Each structure stands twice: as structure tokens, then as C-alpha cells.
Structure 1
Amino acid sequence: MSERGGRPHLAVKREVLVRYLDAWTPVALRSHRGATYVEAGGGSFAGDAFRVFGEFADRLEGHRLDMVMAGASGPAVLGEAPAGLAVRSVADAEDLAVAGPVLLHLDVVEDGAFGESDVWRLVDSLGRGKSREVLLTLPVREPVTEYRERLRAVGLGCAVTVELVAEGGGAQLLVFATGDSKHLAIFKNELWAADEFAGIRYRDPRDAERALVDISLTPQLLPLRRALLAELARRRSCTVAELQQYALLETIYRPADAVGALTSAASAGAVTREPSKGRLTPRTVVGHLEG
């Protein structure tokens, strides 16, 4: 990507979007009501999305996918759309009549035409209903609890908030929310599969230590271990499966990462476990050690 040297945030955001669209599109096309992708993040993102949809031209036949560009001047720059893909622009996406799966992408950092008030207005109008999802980029704010509460209020209770931090320290907040925990897991897989050489590291905005983590399929797990031990101290004991679910819904990590973090904690004698030997499984019960 040409942005890699000078605009690393944009490079990572584009790659994460493309990766998730690759996973979202074939699932969305199964809906008999059609699916809608709303782009409100600028021209470069629209071009990326259009190219992804073009790769599914064979599956688009006999289905309907609407690509709506909010606030855009027109779709002509994107080229000829394959059969089944309808591309249009609207001045205001709030009044869109949509059915079936919807993915809203809105980046207020790259596109100055939209502000944070526009984000929540569109989330409120397009995020309610089954199979609705949003991918947002916002300025870093503290705390992020309010964002998650707003998303939960419209039915998007499965969310991840992750700061994209450049080498110079500049940060942007990436937010993904859905009502489906399986889709959250898919998004996180794509998040960690992004190009690790783009000059961006991740940071969990709810990590008290503010640790920076390199993008990797096998990320550094110390921040997750701290979070899991704190949660275990609150619960006293629980299964590995319960802590995997906690990792999915409350951290930037994946359920599989929780097994790695808990395995190292058990090896170090930081937690109890039952059974006491063997590999950790979802049914393994781990307990808090009194300090």
C-alpha cells in the first residue's frame, strides 16, 4: 500500500476493512432480503470495498448487495459494477431504508465531512436490527466505556475498541461492534492478521498499563494475562471457556489467546487449575490464588 511510509494508520485501517469485507460479503449474500454496505469514510475506502465486492461477482448473480456512499458526490469513479451490486450515493444515510445484513463503515479521522455526532446518529439509525454491524474510526477519547454503552443500547453488544498507535505516538481509535459474537471473533482474527510491518502497534484503551503490542498472529500476551488474572480475582474461580468469552468480549484479544495466557500463568504458579495436569481445555477450572 502506498500509504505505508507516510500514513501508517490509513494502511492498517484499509487492510483490516478489506480483510473483514472478504469474510462478511459471502455471509451477507446468503440473506434473501439482500445486504447493504454503507461507506462514510472517504474515497480510498470506497475503492477498496468496490474491489472486494468485484471479487465476488460470481456469487453476486441472483443476489443483491447495495453499496451506499454517504455524503459522496457520485459512484462513477469506481467503475462498472458487476450484476447484483448496486452502487449509489446519498447526501444523508440516516433515512436509508435497509433490510437484511448491514455493515456501516465510518471514519471521522480521514473524512472531515463527518463528525462524532454523525457517527452516533448513523449508528442509531442503521445499527438497530438483526445482522447490523459497524466499523468506526474515532479520535482517541477517555474512557471508551461510553462508546460501548451506546453500541449496546442499539443491540451491538459484542464490541472491540483498539487504539492504533504509530511509532511517533499518534493514535486513532478503531471500533467494531456487532450483535453476533461469532462475527466479533472473525473480525478479531482479521485484526491480528493485518500487516505487521505497517509501523502501527495496538493498545487496549482499557489496559491500565497502556502497553503497546505488535501486530502479529501470535501477539504478546502479557496485557491479556493481567486482564484475565484481574477477572479471575473477581470471580474467584471459573472455567477456561468463561475466560475465553471474557477475552473475546472485553479485551482486544481472541479466545484462543486466552488459553496461551492462562497456560503461562498456570506454569508460573499464578493460578490453580483442576485437573492439575495436562493441557488446558475449555472445561478446565482455574482459580485465583490468595495473595
Structure 2
Amino acid sequence: MAERVPRPDPHVSVERDVLVRYLDAWTATVLRSQRGGTYVECGDLAADAFRVFGEFADRLTGHHLEAVLVGRAAPAGAPAGLAVRTVDDLGEVEVPGPMLAHLSGAWPPSLVRGKAHEVLLATEPGTDHRERLRTAGLGCAVAVDLVAEDGSARALIFATADGRHLTTFKNELWAVDEFAGIRYRDPRDAEGTLVDISLTPQLLPLRRALLAELARRGSHTVAELQRFTLLETIYRAEDAVGALTAAVAAGQVTREPEKGRLAPRTVLSTAR
């Protein structure tokens, strides 16, 4: 009788796709810089990272790109020009320049303190490390729960000091392949709405969050609400316009000026 091949964990499949997509953009950025960069891998996705680096093989010579593998042996397939080293513990890792670290579980605060350091953390839902990461200097962060059909969940947290890089990450987050059974959930959504992975996602949770922000803070421009969307929800800044347009149409929000398309300077208030 043929041995059954275990089905891949869908949470890991999404995590891998998100990492690979963002790592591709990150590598292109660091190879345009004289400082280069360091990738730190604490899980089992080193082979996937090596495949991404391999796509830049013709550009690695003359640039500093290093992969640090924590508690793992280096897999085969490292492209020429990629420096690879292994360490037993995260505490041994010191990175002075740009860094992207793929982490799981505990991590030392000293690792993320540094110019151009970024983190993709896989952890259990309900453990929100964003404030700790922001205290360490990574002020732009997003947390998203990956929820399977059986209700099991895994959380991903991405943190950076650069809002442009957070924008890039979110673009890749919503562009991943639609793996069967996995949907996103914003851990700050009180109703815990599950949202299909899509380039045009359901915006009701965002609409609720924006209305709550208006109720707390009073009037805001569209630009300010887009910034809130980027920093405080799982959605992209541009998604705010669709959610706000629906809120205006439903009479939940008033606007000034009253007519025309919503522009960055349009002022919105909760309808009374």
C-alpha cells in the first residue's frame, strides 16, 4: 500500500509565499545599495530564500549579501556570491547594516535595533508584539491572523521603520496565491471577520475601523485616514478610499466638500 504523503500546512504555505514575495522586493532594494544586506532565517525556509537570491545571481558579485541561518544547517543550492553562515543562537547575531529577519518565537530586542532592520515574525494568535517592535524602533507594523477552515490560526507580524516598505509588504500580502481554506483576520477587529485573500478584499472590517477612528478622534482628512489604515489595520492605504466611499453613500459619514471624488484633503466626520 502506497504511503500517504502528508498535506502541507496551509498556514506555512501562505507564510512562505508572503516571505518569498517580500524577500524578492527586499533583495532588489539592498542590491541597489552599497551597504548590501543580511537575511536572517530562524525557521525552515532557507531553501526558499536561496531560490529568491538565485534569481539575482548575476548581481551578487561585488555586493554584500549574507544569509545567516540560526540553528539550522545550510541547505544545498546557495547561489555563488551569497555569503552563508550558521549560528546556534539568535543572541550570536549582530547586524550593523540593513537586515530582514524571518523569526519564530522569542527574539532578543537587540536584534531588531538598528538602521534599516526589518522583521517578519510567525507566532501564535493573540500575542501582539507590535508595541515591543515599535519600542525597538520599528514604528511601522502590521499583524494578520492566517485562519484555516478548521479554525486553526497562525499570526504573521511584519515590522519596519520605513512606511514605504510596509506599503510594499501589504501589497505582497494581498497578492499571494489563494491557498485553499486560508483567510485573513485582523486581530484588532472586534468581530473577528474572516476575509478572503484577494487583490480586491472585502472592506467591511476596515469600514468599521475607520468609523471607530472618526468617532474617537473627530474629523479627519482622507489622507490621515489612509495613514491610519496603513499603520493600524491589515489593509492597504488605498483601500481606505473604497471603505470611506461606501460609508459616505450609506450616510454614516459627512464630507467637506460635499461633492466630487474623495481626495486626500477631503475632510470627513461621523454623521450626526
TM-score range, shorter chain: over 0.9
Give 1:183 deviation, angstroms. 0.5
How many residues get paired? 268
CA RMSD of aligned residues (A): 1.5
Give 1:6 deviation, angstroms. 4.1
What amino acid is aligned across from residue 64 of structure 1 in structure 2?
A: H
Task: Provide the TM-score with structure 2 as the length reference.
Answer: 0.94
Distance 1:120 1:10 in 2: 20
Distance 2:62 2:212 in 1: 51
Give the counterpart of 1:254 among 212, 232, 236: 236
- SS in structure 2 at match of 1:78: coil
Give the counterpart of 2:76 among 78, 91, 99: 78
Deviations 1:218-277 (A, max 9, x none): 000000000000001112111000000000000000001001000111111110111111
Number of the residue aligned with 1:102: 99
Distance 2:112 2:215 in 1: 35
Structure 1 unmatched ranges of 5 or more: 108-115
Number of the residue aligned with 1:135: 120
Cα distance change of structure 1 residues 280 and 229 upon mapping to structure 2, 3 Å threshold? same
Give the counterpart of 1:202 among 184, 200, 209: 184
Give the counterpart of 1:91 among 81, 88, 93: 88
Deviations 1:178-218 (A, max 9, x none): 11111111100000001123320000111000100000000
Q: What are the within-5 Å matches in structure 2 for residues 30-41 of structure 1? A: 30-41=32-43
Number of the residue aligned with 1:164: 146
Distance 2:29 2:244 in 1: 33
Distance 1:198 1:38 in 2: 29
Distance 1:241 1:175 in 2: 24
Structure 2 unmatched ranges of 5 or more: none
Distance 1:274 1:178 in 2: 34
Distance 1:200 1:93 in 2: 30
Following superposition, which runs of at least 4 residues in structure 1 exceed 6 angstroms of deviation? none
Give the counterpart of 1:25 among 17, 24, 27: 27
Give 1:126 deviation, angstroms. 1.7
Cα distance change of structure 1 residues 276 and 53 upon mapping to structure 2, 3 Å threshold? same
Contact 1:101-1:132 at 8 Å conserved across structures: yes
Task: Provide the TM-score with structure 1 as the length reference.
Answer: 0.88
What amino acid is aligned across from residue 135 of structure 1 in structure 2?
A: L
What amino acid is aligned across from residue 234 of structure 2 in structure 1?
A: I
- SS in structure 2 at match of 1:30: coil
* % same residue: 65
